[in-house]
């Protein structure tokens, strides 16, 4: 099982996830304030933060924003401890007879009122069993056909930010984790990607904790820098009812992926996580044709 140093590392990671959450809260509430009232009537939304406790050990803080720009945003931080089931332990590195674990992370998902503003997902985490590793990444999901290309301006800007975060630590990590993201965020039953990708990494352990922790922090900071800038530009664009209809139908793909394939959803459900936060990735309104 993780020793004192692993527990201390998990504590450091949790402190960073709390800090990143607070900075994202400030950035997103500033976007709510700045949204033009002719397109977004009503009062700007504010995050509601709600602590929760896990009976088996640990807990976290759920955060929800339901506003005039953000139709629904979930932003959660947690730290949980327990024992992996034999089934889960078989898929985790470094787990033998001792199946105890500690896991901490931050997760974000946004669903926007304006279909011209893309949805975004980000999750970074630290898990320790007999050893520790980082995982996570970020990906962008435009909801309109004209934006669903890696050559579209939002996609180019998003990928550039993530590449900069990767290149600061290893020249090969962006290509490696971009390819992993493309493989992971794919719907086999529809033979199509969920969005325009980003980066995704799991069981990341270079042998240098400080380097891996710095990389994970930079992934979060890249998202904090690039997504509010994309949203600030796109939120000024009016939309049509036809675009709203397209948005709602594309959200159905999001639901299908998260319920059928998403590892984070499965991990949370199988380790007794908070159901409300686990399923907060579900869009508030969705359609299937």
User: Catalytic site residues?
Assistant: 121
**Cβ proximity of 219 and 258 under 8 Å:** no
Strands 186-187 and 192-193 come out as antiparallel
Cα–Cα distance measured from residue 249 to residue 247, given in angstroms and rounded to the nearest whole number: 6
Helix (H, G, I), strand (E, B) or coil at 36: coil
Q: Which helix (H) or strand (E) holds 107?
A: strand 100-112
Please provide the size of the chain in residues.
289
Residues facing residue 137 across a β-bridge: 123, 200
Angle between helix axes 153-167 and 209-234 (nearest 10 degrees) is 160
- The alpha carbon of 225 is separated from its chain's Cα centroid by a whole number of angstroms, namely 15
The per-residue b/e assignment along 37-56, b for 16 or more CB within 10 angstroms, e otherwise, is: eeebeeebbebeeeeeebee
Helix (H, G, I), strand (E, B) or coil at 202: strand
Strands 100-112 and 70-83 come out as antiparallel
């Amino acid at each position: 099982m993780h020793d004192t140093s692993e527990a201390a590392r998990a504590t450091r990671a949790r402190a960073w996830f709390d800090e990143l959450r607070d900075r994202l809260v400030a950035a997103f509430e500033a976007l709510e304030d700045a949204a033009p009232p002719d397109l977004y009537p009503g009062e700007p939304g504010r995050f509601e933060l709600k602590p929760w406790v896990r009976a088996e050990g640990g807990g976290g803080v759920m955060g929800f924003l339901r506003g005039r720009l953000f139709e629904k945003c979930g932003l959660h931080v947690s730290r949980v401890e327990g024992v992996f089931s034999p089934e889960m332990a078989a898929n985790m590195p470094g787990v033998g007879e001792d199946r105890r674990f500690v896991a901490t992370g931050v997760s974000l998902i946004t669903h926007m009122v304006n279909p011209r503003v893309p949805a975004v997902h980000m999750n970074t985490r630290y898990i320790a069993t007999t050893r520790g590793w980082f995982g996570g990444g970020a990906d962008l999901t435009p909801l309109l056909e004209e934006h669903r290309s890696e050559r579209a301006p939002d996609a180019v800007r998003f990928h550039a930010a993530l590449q900069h975060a990767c290149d600061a630590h290893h020249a090969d990590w962006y290509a490696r984790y971009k390819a992993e993201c493309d493989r992971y965020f794919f719907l086999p039953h529809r033979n199509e990607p969920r969005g325009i990708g980003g980066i995704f990494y799991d069981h990341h352990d270079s042998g240098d904790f400080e380097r891996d922790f710095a990389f994970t922090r930079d992934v979060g900071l890249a998202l904090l820098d690039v997504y509010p800038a994309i949203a600030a530009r796109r939120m000024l664009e009016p939309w049509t009812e036809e675009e709203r209809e397209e948005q709602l139908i594309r959200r159905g793909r999001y639901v299908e992926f998260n319920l059928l394939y998403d590892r984070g959803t499965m991990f949370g459900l199988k380790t007794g996580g908070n159901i409300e936060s686990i399923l907060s990735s579900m869009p508030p309104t969705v359609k299937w044709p």
